[in-house]
Chain A
């Protein structure tokens, strides 16, 4: 007998399928392919031109929400308002920058009957780019050295003989990474990145090799519910994967299991590593959420967005242990012809 699917209302952010894509749309695609859930998807958009809002058949309803930087109270008020209309079972936040607000509000959301499945504040903080070398030492993982830069005078204090040599990476606390070969390039990248993403800006030792990535899901008890490894085949000027392929790299999966086991990570995670020519692995970033390429994992046999819902709703779950290797994805851009009325309604009423 075929079981009937479970009705569920899910709020999802990260609908910006731009050249720096958010994970919202691929997360929704995974959920819509679920054999278990019959989802009603509520899009939570920060901008009225986020492409996901205009994609046919993707969202059941859209609401504009204020940026978390406008204050937790304003943000939560808006979520409560949407909840009063839509009755969320669950919200899946997909941006690094909003996670902090959602984590702090998790209890409040829970009291309203809204489930989330997020890391703890401690887990979130310790894998921050600024804390990564300490994280590496604590858990016995190879991580490139890095230092925080909060002002121009910090740049002058950087000593290539004492710290680490050029070239190096200049990174924003949430996004953005540029290579720098000298002090002038550090300064110009510092100005650009700090204007956009705030402080600190991180200088990270450059490790030569191939970038490899893992999307994974932890149950908060030390178990890895799923993990898929990928190599970017085509990288945009923003460093985003425009094409990628699943790879069979047991060591990479072993590192992922170790991180999940020792940190008891709760929720989605993206690991970014460099594999050197001598087959050493350096963790260059740990993102505390599902990445925008998660649909590759779904295509390779691990529906991690569906698994995340099961975890959030306290359902029983069987960990994925396998995935298909050599599965590729290629992104594309596509012009959607939109009715001006949609744009107008969202802009004026804040909902669509």
Chain B
């Protein structure tokens, strides 16, 4: 999964998509995952980091992850592969 190339995201979690003019706000966890996606980390890698860092197991994390990425997809923030 890859984030769209031209979008700008600030440290505060404010994202601007220059193609559509839409802006979005991420909470800190959303921002963290988004940045991992930007770095082109795999689901396995992200799951490992998140389960180590936070009190969540892999199954539950993946559920939230797919929920989150389907929302990113819906707002056209991911590249079509």
Contact = CB atoms under 8 A, between A and B. Distances in A.
B6 to A, nearest CB: 6
A210 interface: yes
Contacts of B8: 326
Interface stretch (B14-22, B29-37, B45-53): B14-22
Interface stretch (A29-37, A129-137, A244-252): A244-252
Contacts of A245: 21
A248 B16 contact: no
A40 B19 CA distance: 39
The 7 A-B residue pairs whose C-beta atoms are closest, nearest first, are A231-B21, A248-B18, A247-B21, A325-B18, A245-B21, A326-B16, A326-B18
B18 A210 contact: no
Interface residues of A, number: 14
B19 A249 contact: yes
12 contacts: A210-B20, A230-B21, A231-B21, A231-B22, A245-B21, A246-B21, A247-B18, A247-B20, A247-B21, A248-B6, A248-B18, A325-B18
Interface of B: 6, 8, 16, 18-22
Contacts of B16: 326
A180 to B, nearest CB: 28
A233 interface: yes
A244 B20 CA distance: 12
Contacts of A231: 20-22
A248 B6 CA distance: 9
Given A231-B20, A247-B21, A326-B8, 9 more contacts: A230-B21, A231-B22, A233-B21, A245-B21, A246-B21, A247-B20, A249-B19, A249-B20, A326-B16
Contacts of A326: 8, 16, 18
B47 to A, nearest CB: 31
Nearest to A325: B18
B79 to A, nearest CB: 14
Nearest to A252: B19
A70 B16 CA distance: 49
Contacts of A248: 6, 18-19
A191 to B, nearest CB: 36
Nearest to B16: A326
Nearest to A246: B21
A246 B16 CA distance: 11
Contacts of B19: 247-249
A235 to B, nearest CB: 13
A210 B21 CA distance: 10
A246 B6 CA distance: 14
A129 to B, nearest CB: 25
Interface in A201-258: 210, 212, 230-231, 233, 244-249
A308 to B, nearest CB: 25
B7 to A, nearest CB: 10
Contacts of A244: 21
Nearest to A244: B21
A249 B20 CA distance: 7
A275 B19 CA distance: 11
A246 B17 CA distance: 11
A230 B18 CA distance: 10
A326 B20 CA distance: 10
B72 to A, nearest CB: 15
A210 B19 CA distance: 12
Contacts of B20: 210, 231, 247, 249, 275
Contacts of A210: 20
Interface string A10-47: 00000000000000000000000000000000000000
A56 to B, nearest CB: 33
A247 B76 CA distance: 15
Contacts of B21: 212, 230-231, 233, 244-247
Nearest to A279: B76
